[in-house]
Amino acid sequence: MSNRIKIYLDDLRSPVDKSWRVVRNYDAFCKLVTEIGFENIDCISLDHDLGDTAMKEYYNNVHSNYTLNYENITEKTGLDCAKWLIEQWLNGKPLIDVYVHSANPVGSANIMGWINNYRMNVHKPQNCIRIKIKHTV
């Protein structure tokens, strides 16, 4: 059993499994990852939609016609967190396994694409997948 931390990014839900550390937004995510240190993190699970405008975009566009327009979203998303992680890895931080638990299929695919493309380019397995984590709400 690893003593390393598992991080769960979601603005509303919390995992039933209490071993996850929950953060609710981009700033809290970046702060926690930095404070804990990449070498002390086991894995991360990302939600895509982190706030009212992201949820509005999900219900108005993604859910009905499978399109996602980031210009309609004012808060940072799980994709922004994925891009921040990649920037840190490019600057030499240790690679962490990242998963996606978002209900947003387009947002999930965007996150998985960014993470897996980075992993492919550094000759690591493309293991960022969409998973189900038992949660509240």
Dihedral sign for Cα 17, 102, 116, 70, please: negative
User: What's the predicted TM-score (pTM) here?
Assistant: 0.96
What percentage of the chain reaches a pLDDT higher than 90?
95
pLDDT at 2 over 80: no
Reported confidence tier of residue 1, pLDDT bands at 50, 70, 90: very low
pLDDT, averaged across the chain: 96
pLDDT, tens digit (0-9, with 9 covering 90-100), for 62-104: 989 999 999 999 999 999 999 999 999 999 999 999 999 999 9
- Structure token pair of residue 33: 């990852």
Task: Give the integer Cα–Cα distance in Å for 95 and 52.
Answer: 31
pLDDT, tens digit (0-9, with 9 covering 90-100), for 120-130: 999 999 999 99
